[in-house]
Amino acid sequence: MAREIERKFLLRTEDWRGLAPGKAYVQGYLAGNEACSVRVRIAENTATLNIKSAAAGAGRSEFEYEIPLEDARQMLAMLAWKPLIEKTRYTIEHKGFHWEIDEFRGTNLGLVLAEIELEHEDQVFEKPAWIGEEVTDDPRYYNANLARAPYSKW
């Protein structure tokens, strides 16, 4: 079983811009309940199927598998909840850690989140100056919830 430990933050400045190229993502959710979510994602020419536990907090079980691109396109078109999640992801290296900045488009336009994956929940890391408030424990910021209750409707 794979385990993901991820913390989420809002950004307080735009100083991260220009530090890395962006990669377009589109993803949709096929199922979700109090136990888990099932997601299909296309990142440029790669498609994945992801199953993630719905536990609150930084640590969750996660399983991810590459799938055929055309299958993913059909699942997003025919099976996924609407609206789809559209975003550009920027991966920035800072003090030995990879920060992923997600700049959302579509119905979540205006939302920008930073995520860091850790090896254990109490791992120490230095935040870049552009990192703001932590929102790890706020379920509104989970992508599965942004598909059901987009940022534009808050």
Give the residue numbers annotated as catalytic, written as ranges.
29
**Torsion 110-27-114-103 (CA) sign:** negative
| Angstrom distance (rounded) from CA 69 to CA 75 | 10
The phi, psi pair for 104, rounded to 5°, reads -80, 150
Contacts of 67 (CB under 8 A, 6+ apart): 40, 47, 48, 49
Beta strand ranges found along the chain (DSSP E): 3-11, 22-32, 36-43, 46-53, 59-67, 85-94, 97-104, 112-117, 131-134
Residue 46 CA: distances (Å) to CA of 30, 42, 69? 18, 6, 6
